Amino acid sequence: MAAFVLKCPACEKKFKYDVSEGWPDFCPLCSHKMGNDRPDDEIVMPAFLSQKSKNNDAVARQIMDGSEQRAEMAAAMAGVPVSEMSNLKITNLNDRRDAEVSVMPVNNPVSQHMAAMQARGMPVGFGGAADTSGTATGAITVNGKVIQGISPRAGVSSLLHTQNAIPKAVQRMTGGKTMSKEY
């Protein structure tokens, strides 16, 4: 016996039913037709609208409404009509939950060229691409160490410089005498 507790969509009351003979066609409490006569290969999409999905949608709508207000404020500050600031409005926000980001993907000649470069394994963007060894190909390598940025390892370099300068300064102050390591 495979008994389940089912809920009638019409009277919304729960009842136990043995589904080993099949799903019920009618509610045993109110005799409402439950509509289980659809073919098995028919695709049915339930309309889920929970508070969680409403909140996601509300955030997307607030972003779009806020962009319209910012366009109006920018037009007022610049002293131009709102139509000239219409590019500031967000009207095509991607509010799907399976999307990685909310903005629509950019598809212009630059992004197409970058996609082609990335497909060939060339470095793209600020971080560069990683080669098969995991080393960033856009970075400079010195003695097998990856160096990136304007002044990489600046903190460590200044620390080492200070540590090397202390004994030399002490030797100058003491007239060439060496100090013990206990200081």
CA gap 114, 120 in Å, rounded: 10
pLDDT band at 158; cut points 50, 70, 90: confident
Assign 3-class secondary structure to 122-133.
CCCCCCCCECCC
> Does position 144 have pLDDT exceeding 80, yes or no?
no
- Other beta carbons within 10 Å of 41: 5
CA 47 to chain CA centroid, nearest Å: 26
Residue range 55-68: average pLDDT?
A: 82
- Other beta carbons within 10 Å of 27: 19
Residue range 136-142: average pLDDT?
A: 53
Q: Could you tell me the end-to-end alpha-carbon distance of the chain, in angstroms, rounded to an integer?
A: 84
> Does position 162 have pLDDT exceeding 80, yes or no?
yes
Return mean pLDDT, the chain: 76
Beta-strand runs (E) in the chain: 3-7, 14-18, 140-142, 145-147
Distances (CA, A) of 44 to 8, 31, 47: 18, 23, 10
CA gap 16, 107 in Å, rounded: 55
Buried/exposed code over 42-53 (b: 16+ C-beta within 10 A; e: otherwise): eeeeeeeeeeee
